């Protein structure tokens, strides 16, 4: 009887899966509309008046350097299995002197792009900057994704743009979340692979919000004993850790001024209601610990609303 019940529910699940509608299917084994993800992206009509296009990506290893251009908007890329739907490239900054900003595995320039259940990886050796995800589009959403790399894993690459990461896994070595965008990280797991810096925000002076990490879990490799929460890539860098788990191994001072003491006067580094041995703020000398009243300002609605009242949680 138990086996019959399990079989019945399996059929229900299979039926629901087969009835799910996708506009485009990508499969490396030739069972989709395209074998490569870039081909699927290139097939989407510019500024498509029909609305959102959903691309389903079957399990597989996709060795591609991808770009969603500015004229491709309102696109969802949904993987079949987060850990088995892998987009991989391996450029780093020292290859032909390409520099940081051409090393990406996946570059997103179009607005209103959503990634879900995908792994984006830059597997370059630790020889320099090697970006996995480079985002310049506005209102970008990432749900249940993995972003794997070393130095400079995620580049939030344009000011006055907004991004939302939900339940994602992010790993790296140095400055592996960096850039000028306004970004909310909710419930993310962040794995530090080397003694270094987690964030390197470059928030412009006129932009109120930079990086907010809420309900995130910071994890350290066994060899990591001295990790900074962030350092100020630009003078007005803004980063807040709120309701996060901070382990032993976070440096007592918390933050680094990037060899410029003047940054301590302008950088906006904050913490609130974190837990764990690394959450002890008694050694913080120039960052700010928010009061409950001050922390109440930092909600998804306030941080990401912009001029169009965008709220990715609704």
152 is an active site residue:
yes
Q: How do residues 4-52 score in pLDDT, each as one tens digit?
A: 433 333 333 333 334 478 999 999 999 999 999 999 999 999 999 989 9
Among candidates 177, 203, 173, 160, which has minimal Cα distance to 304? 160
pLDDT of residue 169: 99
Q: Is the pLDDT of residue 222 over 70?
A: yes
Residue 108: helix, strand or coil by DSSP?
strand
The secondary element (H helix, E strand) that includes residue 100 is none
Q: Calculate the alpha carbon distances from 234 to 136, 226, 237, 255 in Å.
A: 18, 22, 6, 13
Give the confidence band of 86 by pLDDT, cuts at 50, 70, 90: very high
Residue 170 tokens read as: 């992010």
What pLDDT is attached to residue 21? Answer: 84
Quickly list DSSP for 155-207. EE--TT-EEEEES-EEEESSS-EEESSEEEEES-EEEE-SSSEEEEE---TT-
Please name every residue paired with 19 in a beta bridge, in sequence order, or none if there are none: none
- The pTM of this model reads 0.94
Question: With the C-alpha atoms ordered 177, 117, 74, 35, is the resulting torsion angle positive or negative?
Answer: positive
- For residue 25, with 0-12 CB atoms within 10 Å meaning exposed, 13-18 middle and 19 or more buried, which class applies? middle
Per domain, the residue ranges of the chain are 23-304
pLDDT 10s digits, 143-202: 999 999 999 999 999 999 999 999 999 999 999 999 999 999 999 999 999 999 999 999
- In this prediction, residue 239 carries a pLDDT of 99
Residue holding tokens 């000028």?
Answer: 180
Tens digits of residue pLDDT in 236-289: 999 999 999 999 999 999 999 999 999 999 999 999 999 999 999 999 999 999
3 — pLDDT class (breaks 50, 70, 90) = very low
Give the chain's radius of gyration (CA, Å): 20
Q: Which of 23, 138, 152, 256 is catalytic?
A: 152
- Please confirm, yes or no, whether 175 is among the known catalytic residues: yes
> What was the pLDDT predicted at 77?
98
Q: Which CATH class is domain 23-304?
A: mainly beta
Q: Pick from 259, 265, 260: which is nearest to 285 by CA?
A: 265
N-to-C CA span, the chain: 41
Q: How confident is the model at residue 123 (pLDDT cuts 50, 70, 90)?
A: very high
Q: What is the pLDDT of residue 106?
A: 99
* Average pLDDT score over residue span 67-82: 98
- Asked if residue 144 lies in contact with residue 120, where contact means CB atoms within 8 angstroms, the answer is no
Please state, in angstroms and rounded to a whole number, the distance separating the CA atoms of residues 99 and 93: 4
Question: DSSP state, 75?
Answer: E
Q: Which is the catalytic residue, given 81, 175, 280, 308?
A: 175
Cα separation, 183 vs 164, whole angstroms: 6
Q: Stretch 105-118: mean pLDDT, rounded?
A: 98
Around Cβ 253, how many Cβ atoms within 10 Å?
A: 14
């Amino acid at each position: 009887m138990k086996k019959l019940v399990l079989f019945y529910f399996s059929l229900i699940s299979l039926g629901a899966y087969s009835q799910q509608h996708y506009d485009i299917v990508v499969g490396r084994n030739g069972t989709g509309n395209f074998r490569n993800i870039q081909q699927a992206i290139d097939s989407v009509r510019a500024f498509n008046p029909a609305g959102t296009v959903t691309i389903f990506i079957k399990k597989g290893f996709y060795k591609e350097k991808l770009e969603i251009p500015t004229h491709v908007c309102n696109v969802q890329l949904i993987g079949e299995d987060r850990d088995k739907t892998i987009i991989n490239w391996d450029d780093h900054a020292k290859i032909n002197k390409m520099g940081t900003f051409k090393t990406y595995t996946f570059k997103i320039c179009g607005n209103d792009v959503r990634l879900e259940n995908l792994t984006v990886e830059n597997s370059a050796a630790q020889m320099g900057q090697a970006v996995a995800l480079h985002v310049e589009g506005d209102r970008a959403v990432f749900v249940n994704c993995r972003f794997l790399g070393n130095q400079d894993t995620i580049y939030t690459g344009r000011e006055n743009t907004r991004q939302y990461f939900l339940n994602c896994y992010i790993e790296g070595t140095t400055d592996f979340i960096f850039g000028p965008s306004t970004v909310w990280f909710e419930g993310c797991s962040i794995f530090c692979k080397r003694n270094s810096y987690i964030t390197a925000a470059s928030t412009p002076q006129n932009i109120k919000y930079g990086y907010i990490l809420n309900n995130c879990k910071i994890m350290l490799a066994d060899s990591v004993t001295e990790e900074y929460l962030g350092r100020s890539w630009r003078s007005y860098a803004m980063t807040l850790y709120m309701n996060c788990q901070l382990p032993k191994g976070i440096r007592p001072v918390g933050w680094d001024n990037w060899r410029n003491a003047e940054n301590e006067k302008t950088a906006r580094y904050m913490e609130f209601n974190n837990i764990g041995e690394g959450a002890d703020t008694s050694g913080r000398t120039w960052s700010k610990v928010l009061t409950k009243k001050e922390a109440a300002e930092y909600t998804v609605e306030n941080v990401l609303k912009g001029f169009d009242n965008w709220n990715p949680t609704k």
